[in-house]
Amino acid sequence: MPSQMLASFAGAIQASLSVLLTISYGVIAAQTNFLDEQSAKKISKLCVNMLLPALLIVNLGSELDIDTVTRYIPILVWALFYNVGSWAIGALGTRVFKLPKWVTPAVTFNNTTSMPLLLIQSLGSTGTLTQLAWHDSDDVETIVGRARSYFLVASIIGNTMTFGIGGEMLGAFEEDPADELDRHLRDHVSDEDLAESGECDQDNQGGDDGDDGQPDEGTSLLPDRFNRHKKAAVSNTYNVLTRAWDTFPPWLQTTTARIRKFFSPPGIGAIVGIILGITPPLHRVFFNDVTEGGIFKAWLTTSLKNIGELFIALQVIVVGVKLAISLQRMRRGESSGKLPPVAVTFTLLIRFIFWPVVSIAIIGALAAKTNVLGNDPVLWFTMMLMPTGPSAMKLGALADVGGAGDEEKMAIAKFLTLSYCLSPLISLTVVGGVKVITEWIQ
């Protein structure tokens, strides 16, 4: 089947180049001053806190139901396995070879959302995914939608670990988590109590409109009465939480604070999507056609789908903007930052060679010899791709949070630039996965 393999390779290369070109558009936007560092941060925050949760709600909710929910359990187990395995490999390699501390998160966290989602979308347009059709009714749109939901489920584990322990790998969160949460609660209580003491009402009468009493971009568009009720509700909530917090014994405060770090908007979006999917009445009203009782599909679900799909390309463009900013700093000679060859080689080997080989071997064997993974070739293929690819761009944000020095930040920026330039290497994993599935398993 040389011609089929060549076609798969050509399709994979085209899909990888499509991802690289999308990144380059972000670079162009930064170079032409359409986007700067601050705007990129705001867009990235929008993507993580609003667009990705919407995408998770729609994709997971539409694909999940009582009959298919068990199909996603192996994905969660696999995602936990390769994330913890990557963490162990990264930590061991850093200790044994005396590598910089950023190597551990660089090995642990790969790009689990924007890159694979855009890659799958591009592979669908090249026709490569049609080889993985489960049955005759599987068209490209159905295959892409199913693959997207599989990647999003896997991203839950990666995002949870990133938010939960990513900062600690780079030395962030040196403050005790319980002390940090205690300070957060008391800061908000003091702020809201101050607002309720009379200054809030004074602000509502004119302070929000600026010093000259005229509206500005910071002026709330909501009525003053609504703002007062909102502030009162926030104040009461924090007061209740603080009183409850004070009753906790020290061990429970520490446990609560550590668990809190693992909660994130994408995680909440995933939970909502799962609930909507596996609850038959909710699944019907949100995801069925209007003629079948889907009273929310045409307006609410569609609106969430519209903003959710913005995440895929927008987040990749942000990656390009961040890379452009890093390149600009390098050209200006700001804290050049040494990039140890051993650290780069070790990390890239794990991300682009080790995990592709291991994942294709393990998933291929499980699919061929057992029924653990079911009969969906798209599931096998996406699970082969999940541990692979460049390190997550969140690595740069973790360095900022962790208080890393300028040289270390520039070293990370250089590494990420190199890593994404090598992202077309994913095409080898694509070809290997398709070949194993079509010739050895099916």
Q: Cβ atoms within 10 A of the Cβ of 27, count?
A: 19
Q: Residue 344: pLDDT above 50?
A: yes
Architecture of domain 2-173+261-441: Up-down Bundle (1.20)
Distances 31 to 25, 35, 169, 400 between C-alpha atoms, Å: 10, 8, 32, 23
pLDDT digits (tens, 9 = 90+) for 296-339: 998 999 999 999 999 888 988 988 888 888 778 777 766 556 78
Distances 367 to 272, 408, 429 between C-alpha atoms, Å: 30, 42, 17
For the purposes of burial, counting CB atoms within 10 Å of the CB of 225, is it exposed (0-12), middle (13-18) or buried (19 or more)? exposed
- CA gap 173, 319 in Å, rounded: 25
- The stretch 121-136 carries a mean pLDDT of 86
Q: Which of the two residues, 171 and 58, has the higher pLDDT score?
A: 58
The pLDDT of residue 225: 73
The structural domains of the chain, with segments of one domain joined by +, span 2-173+261-441, 177-210+221-258
In this prediction the pTM is: 0.80
pLDDT digits (tens, 9 = 90+) for 268-281: 898 899 999 999 99
Collapsed DSSP state (helix, strand, coil) of residue 65 = coil
Q: Which of the two residues, 28 and 409, has the higher pLDDT score?
A: 28
Q: List, as one string, the DSSP characters of 229-271.
A: HHHHHHHHHHHHHHHHHHHS-HHHHHHHHHHHTT--HHHHHHH
pLDDT digits (tens, 9 = 90+) for 177-186: 677 777 777 7
Structure token digits, residue 241: 């939480």
pLDDT digits (tens, 9 = 90+) for 184-236: 777 766 544 544 444 444 444 444 444 455 555 556 666 777 777 777 777 78
Q: How confident is the model at residue 170 (pLDDT cuts 50, 70, 90)?
A: low
**H-only helix segments in 279-340:** 280-287, 302-331
